[in-house]
Amino acid sequence: MGALPHEDFLQCLSLCSNDSSTISSVIYTRNNPSYSTVLESTIRNLRFNSTNTPKPLVIVTPSRTSHFQATIYCSRKHGLQIRTRSGGHDYEGLSYVAKVPFVVVDLVNFRSVDVDVENRVAWVQAGAILGEVYYRIAEKSRTLSFAGGVFHSIGVGGYISGGGFGLLFRKYGTGGDNVIDAQFIDVNGRILDRKSMGEDLFWAIRGGGGGSFGIVLAWKLKLVPVPATVTVFSVSRTLEQNATQLILRWQEIAHQLPDEMNPDVSMFSVNSTQDGRKTILASFSSLFLGTIDELLPIMQQRFPELGLSRQDCSEMSWIESVLYFNQLQNQPLEILLNRTFRTPVGGQYYKIKSDYVKEPISETALNGLFSRLSDEEASSAIIIFMAYGGIMDRIPEDATPFPHRAGNLYKIYYNVNWQEQDNVNSQKYIDWSRRVYNYMTPFVSKSPREAYANYRDLDIGSNNVGITSYTQASVWGRKYFKNNFDRLVQVKTKIDPENFFKHEQSIPPLH
């Protein structure tokens, strides 16, 4: 009987690595007692942590670039697929689940953050989490930051690869808009920077979706100024407290609010305090890059109906606002360094979808959405409208692969989540999210119905397991990337013509 594919693979790794003693310490086979701990360490969506979930044959946690080179070489040689994982937040688990024999390359040991305050840049290895980036910047300056995401445990590798939006995106754009160089390894093991990879590939990796082109080792980030004092607020209203009219008004004005804000409104079902029946609670919140005194007149002029008062607002430093939006107020800043910490926000078993809205939706449409939010399956669901506008209206659609720019009023984030004991019934929750998505069809963007690549959703289409066809990939590709999809395909055809780096929603090469 021949050796198992991963035994040949392991032998290849030790043969082709010129430092086999160090590589052996970063390899985890299923016989290794730490295998499960390493695998599960950053599985965020516990839906993909069941006994039925396909597991990697081997996990490699490179500590040197030669380990990446050896892993890519040996995986190709022995017909194993690679799944690259930075922070493990992929909503469909594609960084650690595959239906074919595969190896996980986990960048947990590639996470240095080197901040240069004077030049307002930072070199960040792709395995760092956003919390590490924020923390290391704040150590040196409280008035600089990065256009990162809200949740501190997201990996920088996947975040920027899929675009990346967060608290500062209406002021400074996406994460990908704020990258000025990168270190990248291609299918042939070549280590490339911006100059040697060329502008097409450098464009593609800043938003064209993770796992398609090669492995990003590090990003050089542009740091952006933030004031020493920022303000946060959150105001909640039930349907009985006029929430519907407030949301209708919010739709009209939120995208026109100052770039210094990131207004959103979260909606979920709660028991009414009046009679114990269900109602919808709408929570209006935002960061404001300025003081309460500066914010209040703006809100009184633009959105008086909300009745924002001084008591609804808190002033803090920018880094403290990261804790606030992670619901980690009063925790030490060091919690941002904890990459295995499970955020209390958003649940642990979940299904996500996204939409873009170009025209305000009607009261009737909104009522239909509320009625679905009151379904039994939606008891832990949350729907968030996130305002667009600001600098997003001014950055051209093809500046990076992330195409959702001018013309959007807001993005919708649909999150249905459930508890461990109900994971056997996951299908009923997933079906609920599909029903809501179908219901929303007439009210959201069309031709294509746009979706955010980092909110990965395999329902909108996926590649064949075998041959990845352009036509099939266009179905989901145009939703994520609109016309930028064709340029991504061209880049892919050049950098990885044999389609080694692939998954269910990777960019296909042209054959």
- Distinct helix (H) and strand (E) counts, the chain: 16, 18
Angle between helices 5-16 and 65-77 (to 10 degrees): 140
Whose Cβ is closer to ligand FDA: residue 347's or residue 389's? 347
Q: What is the DSSP string of 256-300?
A: GS-TTB--EEEEEEEE-TTTS-EEEEEEEEEEESS-HHHHHHHHH
Whose Cβ is closer to ligand FDA: residue 255's or residue 456's? 456
Region of 394 on the Ramachandran plot (φ > 0 left; ψ -120 to 50 alpha; else beta)? alpha
Q: How near is the Cβ of 331 to ligand FDA at its closest, in Å?
A: 17
Please, which of residues 106-125 interact with ligand FDA by CB under 6 A? 107
Q: Tell me which residue has tokens 């029903």.
A: 435
Q: What is the DSSP string of 96-148?
A: T--SSSEEEEEGGG---EEEETTTTEEEEETT-BHHHHHHHHHHH-SSEE---
Q: Which of 349, 455, 470, 480 is catalytic?
A: 455
Using CB under 6 A as the binding rule, whether residue 499 contacts ligand FDA is answered as no
Please, which of residues 64-83 interact with ligand FDA by CB under 6 A? 83
Whose Cβ is closer to ligand FDA: residue 36's or residue 272's? 36
Q: How near is the Cβ of 284 to ligand FDA at its closest, in Å?
A: 18
Of the candidate residues 101, 131, 162, 208, the single one contacting ligand FDA (CB under 6 A): 162
Of the candidate residues 216, 235, 267, 507, the single one contacting ligand FDA (CB under 6 A): 216
Whose Cβ is closer to ligand FDA: residue 13's or residue 105's? 105
Q: Write the binding mask 316 to 355 for ligand FDA: x where contact by CB under 6 A, - elsewhere.
A: ---------------------------x--x---------
- Residue 44: half-sphere exposure toward Cβ, Cα within 13 Å: 26
- Token duo for residue 86: 């930075």
Contact indicator for 453, 439 with CB cutoff of 8 Å: no
Whose Cβ is closer to ligand FDA: residue 342's or residue 446's? 342
356 is catalytic: no
Q: How near is the Cβ of 341 to ligand FDA at its closest, in Å?
A: 11
- Token duo for residue 169: 């995106």
Q: How near is the Cβ of 445 to ligand FDA at its closest, in Å?
A: 18
Q: How near is the Cβ of 406 to ligand FDA at its closest, in Å?
A: 19
Residue 105's DSSP bridge partners are: 60, 84
Q: Work out the number of other CB atoms within 10 angstroms of the CB of residue 209.
A: 27
Using CB under 6 A as the binding rule, whether residue 94 contacts ligand FDA is answered as yes
Distance CA 204, CA 305 (A): 43
Using CB under 6 A as the binding rule, whether residue 299 contacts ligand FDA is answered as no
Distance CA 360, CA 256 (A): 13
In single-letter form, the type of residue at position 480 comes to Y
Q: What is the DSSP string of 47-78?
A: GG-STTS---SEEE--SSHHHHHHHHHHHHHT
Using CB under 6 A as the binding rule, whether residue 488 contacts ligand FDA is answered as no
Distance CA 373, CA 379 (A): 8
Of the candidate residues 67, 89, 339, 353, the single one contacting ligand FDA (CB under 6 A): 89
Using CB under 6 A as the binding rule, whether residue 411 contacts ligand FDA is answered as no
Instruction: Give the nearest residue (CB) to ligand FDA.
Output: 210
Whose Cβ is closer to ligand FDA: residue 279's or residue 454's? 454
Distance CA 387, CA 378 (A): 23
Using CB under 6 A as the binding rule, whether residue 150 contacts ligand FDA is answered as yes
Using CB under 6 A as the binding rule, whether residue 405 contacts ligand FDA is answered as no
Using CB under 6 A as the binding rule, whether residue 17 contacts ligand FDA is answered as no
Whose Cβ is closer to ligand FDA: residue 91's or residue 370's? 91
Distance CA 253, CA 377 (A): 32
Q: How near is the Cβ of 359 to ligand FDA at its closest, in Å?
A: 24
Which residues would be at the binding site for ligand FDA (CB under 6 A)?
Answer: 44, 83-91, 94-95, 107, 126, 149-151, 154-155, 157-159, 161-162, 164-166, 210-211, 215-216, 343, 346, 454, 503
Catalytic residues: 455
